[in-house]
Amino acid sequence: MAGAGAFGRNHLRVYRELEAAGLGVALVAAVEPDAARAADTAAKYGIPVFSTVDALLAADLKLNAATVAVPTVHHHAVAAALLDAGLDLLVEKPLAAKLSEADDLIERADKGKLIVQPGHLERFNPAVMAVEPQLRRPMFFESHRLSIFTPRALDVDVVLDLMIHDLDIVLTFAASPVREVRAVGLPILSPMVDIANVRVEFESGCVANFTASRVSTERVRKLRFFEPRQYVSIDYARQDLLVIGMDGSVPPEIAAAIAAGKVDAATLAKLAAAAGAAGGPGPGLSFKKPVVTPGEPLRLEIQSFVQAVRTRQEPRVTARQGRAALALALEIQASMAAHAERAGLKDFFKAG
């Protein structure tokens, strides 16, 4: 375990829980340069805590795998050293800070036949896993991820800190190359972009709007999307899923548009909203709440990683998917920088 900070502590807890449950995992050691955190971790888990990766590797503990939960800007250095020592890795999101770093990690992993799973844990959110089998042809996404300001993860902007989760999910669901990105982002409380709004259009014609903020007064983590004859709403925090379907009594002009593949998302949104305002399904609409078995996404993510390590199968979230999410995040940063330039905001702006 590299990095026993705010989020690394959650990994430590889950590894220990899996160990205690007899699931074939042993938490052996950690790396943490901060002396107080290192002492706490050593005391709490009864494991050696090294101040550097080199010191860990010199101890020759016969490790198989590790989580990397150090600040994003250090992902590459730490992950590269662990890969070269032959360890499979769960690397917290984003996979790296730069594409060249992500490419280098992929190359090292391929060379050593090692697993690198980026920590896109929303893929293990039970609501997301429940919606995947129901996916048809998502054409319009609306994503909101708002959180209250905490002085953490300030080595990167809100796109690499928070929006990256939604970029990965939408890239997976849309399954089409990105055609165009338009973005605006502003620094509010930190020197980097704290709030961002992005419109992505895919080659398939699918469009996604993303809003992410780490300076909000409320917490929201929602994804809504529209596809022919279906509207889906996911609340990540509540692990809640709502599917509004359209049956045969859909008004003929809408049915014809759907049949022709010309789905007008605004029309579908209006229908769904009207049905919601009326307190239930309207004519031609049906509400479904598919069963979602609750679970801690991080625990499910780590269990999946352990399974990939054991079976040597490709992880559920691959390093190349982590690279794709990073590539889109960097394109968004470039679009935000161009917007800031056009708007005369360059002095306030420092890309992440």
The CA radius of gyration of the chain, in Å to the nearest whole number, is: 22
CB of 78 to ligand NAD, least distance (A): 5
The nearer residue to ligand NAD, 162 or 207, going by C-beta atoms, is 162
| Pair type for strands 65-68 and 88-92 | parallel
What is the nearest approach in angstroms of ligand NAD to the Cβ of residue 50? 9
Token digits of residue 125? 């959110």
Of 4-12, 193-201, 225-233, 252-260, which part binds ligand NAD (CB under 6 A)? 4-12
SS in 3 state form for 304-319? HHHHHHHHCCCCCCCH
Cis before 138? omega within 30: no
235 binds ligand NAD (CB under 6 A): no
Cβ distance 95 to 121 under 8 Å? no
d(CA 88, CA 64) in angstroms, rounded, equals 6
Question: What are phi and psi for residue 33, nearest 5 degrees?
Answer: -70, -25
What is each CA distance from 267 to 101, 102, 198, 246, 273, in whole angstroms?
43, 41, 22, 12, 10
Place of tokens 């996916």: 135
Nearer to ligand NAD, 53 or 285 (CB): 53
Please work out the total of residues on this chain that contact ligand NAD, with binding judged by CB under 6 A.
25
Distance CA 177, CA 174 (A): 9
If the CB atoms of residues 2 and 184 are measured against ligand NAD, the closer one turns out to be: 2
DSSP class of 149? -
Residue type, 120: H
Tell me: does residue 112 bind ligand NAD (CB under 6 A): no
Check residue 70 for interaction with ligand NAD (CB under 6 A).
yes
d(CA 101, CA 108): 11
Q: Which residue number places its CB atom closest to ligand NAD?
A: 5
Find the binder of ligand NAD among 1, 32, 170, 183 (CB under 6 A).
32
Sort strands 207-213 and 220-227 into parallel, antiparallel or unpaired.
Answer: unpaired
The region of 33-41, 103-111, 174-182, 338-346 touching ligand NAD under the rule CB under 6 A is 33-41
* Nearest distance in Å: CB 40, ligand NAD: 10
**Position among 1, 18, 25, 78 found at the interface with ligand NAD (CB under 6 A):** 78
8 binds ligand NAD (CB under 6 A): yes
Binding residue for ligand NAD, selected from 88, 89, 92, 236, defined by CB under 6 A = 92
Tokens coding 95 = 């996979």
Judged by CB, which is closer to ligand NAD: 114, or 329? 329
Among 19, 40, 48, 71, binds ligand NAD (CB under 6 A): 71
Answer for which of 1, 2, 246, 326 binds ligand NAD (CB under 6 A) is 2
For residue 48, state whether it binds ligand NAD (rule: CB under 6 A).
no
Q: Does 69 bind ligand NAD (CB under 6 A)?
A: yes
- The residue ranges that bind ligand NAD (CB under 6 A) are 2-8, 31-34, 37, 53, 69-72, 74, 78, 92-93, 119, 121, 152-153
